[in-house]
Amino acid sequence: GENVEQHPSTLSVQEGDSAVIKCTYSDSASNYFPWYKQELGKRPQLIIDIRSNVGEKKDQRIAVTLNKTAKHFSLHITETQPEDSAVYFCAANSNSGGSNYKLTFGKGTLLTVNP
Amino acid sequence: GAGVSQSPRYKVAKRGQDVALRCDPISGHVSLFWYQQALGQGPEFLTYFQNEAQLDKSGLPSDRFFAERPEGSVSTLKIQRTQQEDSAVYLCASSLVGSSGGGGNEQFFGPGTRLTVL
Neighbours of B1 (CB within 10 A): 5
The length of chain A in residues reads: 115
Put simply, whether B107 touches A (Cβ < 8 Å) is yes
What pLDDT, in 10s, does the model give residues B52-89?
Answer: 999 999 999 999 999 999 999 999 999 999 999 999 99
Task: Quote the CA–CA distance of B93 and B39 in Å, as a whole number.
Answer: 18
What pLDDT, in 10s, does the model give residues A46-62?
Answer: 999 999 888 999 999 99
- Write out chain A residues lying below 8 Å of B112, CB-based: 43
**Run of H or E including B49:** strand B44-50
What pLDDT, in 10s, does the model give residues A6-28?
Answer: 999 999 999 999 999 999 999 98
Put simply, whether A102 touches B (Cβ < 8 Å) is yes
- Write out chain A residues lying below 8 Å of B100, CB-based: 99-101
R_g of chain B, CA atoms, integer Å: 14
- Please say whether the beta carbons of A79 and A16 come within 8 A: yes
Calculate what percentage of chain A has a pLDDT beyond 70: 95
Put simply, whether B43 touches A (Cβ < 8 Å) is yes
Put simply, whether B9 touches A (Cβ < 8 Å) is no
Neighbours of A87 (CB within 10 A): 20
